[in-house]
Structure 1
Amino acid sequence: MTEKQEKILQAALELFARDGFSSTSTSKVAAHASVSEGLIFRHFKNKEGLLEAIIKEGEVKARTLFADIVLESDPKEVIRKTIDMVLNISSNRADLEFWKLQYKIKWETEKYGEHKMEPLHLALTSAFTKLGYVSPELEASLLLIINDGLATRIALQKGFECETLTSFLKEKYQV
């Protein structure tokens, strides 16, 4: 991806999150990115193409974020790393802003691919199975829903501290 394409995507991400997808025109994105509107059409075809590219970028970042967890063989570490994932995101300012914007777009457009969570869900299900949980698939789903809730609170509530809750989860799962 070229530097200009990245500028366009960053501008679109910021504007979609701030003003809403439906209220943001490609001309606004072009002005915000300091490029011609024609360049947007050349690289992304239309506004929906921009949205798809942003969502794909989120999926790539999610796979990168999950890679260490999915490759982990120790079941307790899989669970601990999943819990810590929210803390890791919230401690990196650039990552936090990116994920905040992704969440806002997810809520407005309903184009959030739950499939991107599947590798993490499978790793957690396997971990809970190895640890002898009665309903490993449900435990995996529950932990992912809790993490999603924590991420939502971090995105919506400035200064939200999730350390107490993540510590509680680690105690609950004994990791």
Structure 2
Amino acid sequence: MTEKQEKIITAALELFAEEGYRSTSTSKVAKRAGVSEGLIFRHFTNKDGLLDAIIKMGEEQAKALFADIVLEPDPKELIRKYIELFITVSKDQEAINFWKLQFKIKWELEIYGEHKMEAIKGALINAFEKLRYNHPEQEANLLLTLMDGLATRFILQQQFDMSETIEFLKQKYKV
């Protein structure tokens, strides 16, 4: 991706978060990015193409975040790493801003993108199976839902301290 494409995506993410996707014009994105509107059309075709690029960027970052977890052979360690993932992310302000913008777009446009969670879900199911949980798929779904809720709470209320809940989950799963 070129520097100008990155500027366009960053500007679009910021504006979509501030004003909403539907209220943001490509001319506003171009102005914020310091590029011509035509350059947006050349690289992304239209505003929907720009949104697709942002969503794909989120999917790539999710894959990168989950890569170490998914490849973990020890089931307890895999679960622990997943539970502690948000502690790591919460220490990086740039990551917080990126995910906040991704969540805001997801909420406004009612796009969940469950497919980006397939690898981590499969890894969690496998871990719960190895640990002989009675309902490994339901445990994986429960943990995914709880962590999604924690992320949402953290994004909406940055003073929220998730450490107690993280410790509770680690105790619950004995990791």
Q: TM-score, normalised by structure 1?
A: 0.99
> Helix, strand or coil: the match of 1:147?
helix
Counterpart position of 1:163: 163
What's 1:128 paired with?
128
| CA distance, structure 2, for counterparts of residue 152 and residue 24 of structure 1 | 23
Counterpart residue number, 1:55: 55
In the alignment, structure 1 segments of 5+ residues that lack a partner are none
Structure 1 Cα separation of the partners of residues 113 and 156 of structure 2: 20
The 2-side partners of 1:101 and 1:11 are apart by: 11
Distance apart, 1:110 and its partner CA = 1.9
SS at match of 2:160: coil
1:2 corresponds to: 2
* Inter-partner Cα distance in structure 2 for 1:108 and 1:172: 34
Q: Partner of 1:100 in structure 2?
A: 100
How far, CA to CA, are the matches of 1:126 and 1:135 in structure 2? 11
1:60-87 residue CA offsets vs partner (Å, 9 max, x unmatched): 0000000001000000011000101111
Could you list the runs of 4 or more consecutive aligned residues of structure 1 that deviate by over 2 angstroms after TM superposition?
none
Give the deviation of 1:112 after TM superposition.
3.0
Amino acid corresponding to residue 32 of structure 1 in structure 2: R
Matching of residue 91 in structure 1 with residue 82 in structure 2? no
Matched AA of 2:110: E
Letter in 2 for 1:68: D
Give the partner amino acid of 1:72.
E
SS of the counterpart of 1:111?
coil
Aligned-pair CA distance for 1:55: 0.2
Gap regions ≥5 residues in structure 2: none
Matched residue type, 1:122: G
For 1:64, the equivalent position in structure 2 comes to 64
Q: Is the 8 A contact 1:75 1:131 kept in 2?
A: yes
Q: Work out the CA distance in 1 between the residues paired with 2:14 and 2:149.
A: 22
Q: What's the counterpart of residue 149 of structure 2? A: 149
How many residues are matched?
Answer: 175
SS at match of 1:160: coil
1:112 to 2:112 alignment: yes
* Distance in 2 of aligned mates of 1:99 and 1:152: 10
Distance 1:71 1:79 in 2: 12
Is 154-163 or 133-142 further displaced after alignment?
154-163
Output the CA distance in 2 between the equivalents of 1:112 and 1:128.
24
- How big is each residue's C-alpha offset from its partner over 1:141-168, in whole Å with a ceiling of 9 and x where there is no partner? 0000000000001110121110010000
What is the identity, as a one-letter code, of the residue corresponding to 2:21? F
CA distance in 2 between partners of 1:75 and 1:48 (Å): 40
Shift of 1:29: 0.2
CA-based RMSD of the aligned residues comes to: 0.6
